[in-house]
């Protein structure tokens, strides 16, 4: 799981990626944002989240899995 947005200077694939590599990739987007894209087709667009929002999402997701 990727939680330290300040360490994500390059696109990094989720550690939960499927065997075929289809998953999401994340990257730091400035000082306080995280960019997320589809690893299967990275040209389709990028979603940006505030770092606090990304951290809250990861925290909630880790409780479910």
Q: Is the pLDDT of residue 49 over 90?
A: yes
pTM of the predicted structure, to 2 decimals: 0.71
How far lies 59's CA from each of 22, 38, 39, 40, 43, in Å?
A: 22, 21, 22, 25, 28
Does residue 26 contact residue 47 with C-beta atoms inside 8 Å? no
Question: Tens digits of per-residue pLDDT, 26-48?
Answer: 888 877 899 999 888 888 889 99
What is the pLDDT at residue 24? 85
Ramachandran quadrant class, 30 (left: phi over 0; alpha: psi -120 to 50; beta: rest):
left
- Radius of gyration from C-alpha coordinates of the chain: 11
Q: What is the chain's mean pLDDT, rounded?
A: 79
């Amino acid at each position: 799981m990727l939680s330290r947005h300040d360490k994500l200077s390059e696109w990094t694939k989720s550690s939960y990626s499927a065997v075929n590599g289809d998953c999401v990739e994340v990257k730091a987007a400035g000082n306080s944002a995280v960019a997320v894209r589809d690893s299967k087709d990275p040209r389709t667009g990028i979603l940006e989240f505030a770092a606090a929002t990304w951290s809250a999402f990861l925290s909630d997701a880790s409780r479910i899995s």
